[in-house]
Amino acid sequence: MYVVDVGAQVIGVNYGLLGNNLPSADQVIALIKSNKINKVRIFQPYQGVLQTLKDSNLEVVLGTLNEDLQQLATDQSFAANWVKDNVLAYIPSVKFRYITLGNEVIPGQYANFVYDPMQNVQNALKAANVNVPVTTVVSYAVLGSSYPPSNASFGQDSSAAMSKIVPFLQQNQYPLLANVYPCFAYFGEPTTIDADYALGNPNASFVYDGTLSYNNMFDAMIDAMYVALEKVGGNGVKVVVSETGWPSAGADLATTNNAKTYVNNVIQRVLTGKGTPKRPETPLEAYIFALFNENQKPAGTEQNFGLFYPDMTPVYPVNIV
């Protein structure tokens, strides 16, 4: 049986392809490895990228097209073929860490087409004697309330979908992948949120929530997701941070210095191996968004989340080790 090891704390990176000037896949994989990153997330099964990932020893988070969710939900044979073409064809040369069904689709038009695809893809994997965790990626929009973390819960427009997904994750001991962006909260309330708290600087003042205390928003946002999960029976579900980052341009507070500070603070935070105040024994796992500035994304901050420019020079220095 092919089984993925999901025990270690890690830093990974999101590898998007929404640019017309990006380097070739083999150059990209070499760049990732040269920077001591051992995990990569791709948003859909790009065959050229998957071919290049063979024997790279990188662990891969593989996404699906949101537009495929409805067919994956209603057609088991389509799900089986998807698994055959995009997973089984590459095992064991590609090390799959997670397979994600849907990226930030809850709440939304595809919210009711997440649970069934998860089951269908899992069935296809099990039929092939392959054990890779199957999950979904949520944004912070799934939460109706998030502050303080102890008050967090899934929103009314998300609770129906999450109340089906969370027991599936709990039963199978699969994680929930969540996109966590303190920058957007800070951009929205720069006069009320302390910059050091948003950036994760060690000199930030503590924010207290009952018996727990937080000196960075990253931890607080993760714990809010844990509280929401517990309220729908997900006490054993781990939160994996599938995206986090800070734009280096495109808004007043999107600066190279802020991006460098936040990303390096997150990396060092994760590499301590310590969990959050609510889950101190659960090591963190986070994927930096994103590898490159991508010029075919919407103008503004969205084009400026990269660690690297398309010519593979750093936007700012990052220390992974």
- Amino acid symbol at 160: A
Q: Catalytic: which of 59, 104, 285, 294?
A: 104
Helix (H/G/I), strand (E/B), else coil: 177: strand
Q: Give the pairing type, strands 212-214 and 207-209.
A: antiparallel
Instruction: For residues 6 and 285, give the distance between their C-alpha atoms in angstroms, rounded to a whole number.
Output: 10
Q: Give the pairing type, strands 10-14 and 2-3.
A: unpaired
Listed in order, strand segments (DSSP E) in the chain are 2-3, 10-14, 39-42, 59-63, 95-103, 130-131, 134-138, 143-145, 153-154, 176-179, 207-209, 212-214, 239-244, 285-288
Find all residues with CB under 8 Å of 105, minimum gap 6, and list them: 66, 69, 111, 113, 114, 136
Q: Over the Cα atoms of the chain, what is R_g?
A: 19
DSSP 234-285: -TTPPEEEEEE---SSSSTT--HHHHHHHHHHHHHHHHT----SSSTTS--E
243 catalytic per annotation: yes
Q: Catalytic: which of 59, 67, 189, 243?
A: 243
Q: Check if the beta carbon of residue 15 is closer than 8 Å to that of residue 312.
A: no
DSSP type of residue 108:
S
**Lookup: tokens for 280:** 């101190």
Catalytic residue annotation: 104, 243
